[in-house]
Structure 1
Amino acid sequence: MAAKDIEAHQFKKGQSGNPKGRPKKPDIDQYLIDALNDERNGIKAIEAIIKTLIAKAVKGDVR
């Protein structure tokens, strides 16, 4: 292509190359809420995490 052809197809002055911008990512908040409230083996994931943390704390694990 010649330079004149390229210039004819470039963006016009004041026009953005990506007018709508980058697509938004989904909120992670709802994903986390759903994952933590997911119930398997009769217990929610958040409850299992809390029980594990309490058991480790009782044993003296400070991490």
Structure 2
Amino acid sequence: MFFSTPHGGADPRGFLQHIAEKAIKAAGFSVNEQIVNTLLPSAERLRELRDGFGPMAHEQN
């Protein structure tokens, strides 16, 4: 399963989260709430990644 999120974050705690959690649990895996919370638009780590991407991309052309 491939998962991505927009640069501004996403709130995965809605209907689609419940579907994804059921699929993940059916496959024998567990859901890591810390990772889910990192995807929220207000997450500090997401802001750090977003702020660091521009300079890194510019440096790599």
TM bin (shorter chain): 0.3 to 0.5
Higher strand share: 1
Bigger relative contact order, structure 1 or 2, given CA contacts below 8 A and separation 6+? 2
Give the helix-richer structure, 1 or 2.
2
Larger gyration radius, structure 1 or structure 2: 1
Which TM-score applies when normalising by structure 2?
0.35
Question: TM-score if structure 1 supplies the norm length?
Answer: 0.34
